[in-house]
Amino acid sequence: MATDAEWARIRRDLRFGQVFEGAVVKVPRPGAIGIFVDIGLSVGGFVDVLLLPNGGEDWPAEGTIADFEIWWADSRQQVRLKPSDSRYLRTDFADFVERVRPSWPSEVGQPVRD
């Protein structure tokens, strides 16, 4: 676990949409919670169930190596991710973004804000 100071330093270097290659390390309840991803930082990565396909059978399995983009990072010491590979992304992602986070396209490349 990172210290608060280390997390603040890490966050300063993060950009929305920044891509990390990661390994899926845990899928605690397929179809229900989300997946934990190791992206090589001292804090964990997580993909929320809301960004994954409806059926847990379409989620990446533990051990899967794939690209993930930074979706969010707040005060919790965890990088929220979205899959880059459309196979692992909800099928209506464009509609979802328009409803839930319409500013996403203009945020890509911007620093993760406090």
> Architecture of domain 4-107 in CATH?
Beta Barrel (2.40)
Question: What is the tens place of the pLDDT at every residue in 29-75?
Answer: 877 899 999 999 999 999 999 999 998 889 999 999 999 999 999 88
Determine if the pTM surpasses 0.85.
Answer: yes
Mean pLDDT, the chain, whole residue set: 93
For 100, phi and psi rounded to 5 degrees?
A: -100, -35
User: With bands split at pLDDT 50, 70 and 90, how would you rate the model's confidence at 114?
Assistant: low
Contacts of 37 by beta carbon, 8 Å cutoff, 6+ apart = 22, 23, 24, 25, 44, 45, 46, 47, 68, 81
Show me where the domains of the chain are located.
4-107
User: With bands split at pLDDT 50, 70 and 90, how would you rate the model's confidence at 4?
Assistant: confident
Model confidence at 102: pLDDT above 90 = yes
For 81-98, give the secondary structure using H, E and C: EEECCHHHCCCCHHHHHH
The conformational region for residue 96 under phi > 0 = left, psi -120 to 50 = alpha, else beta, is alpha
The residues that bridge with 67 in the sheet, in sequence order, are 21
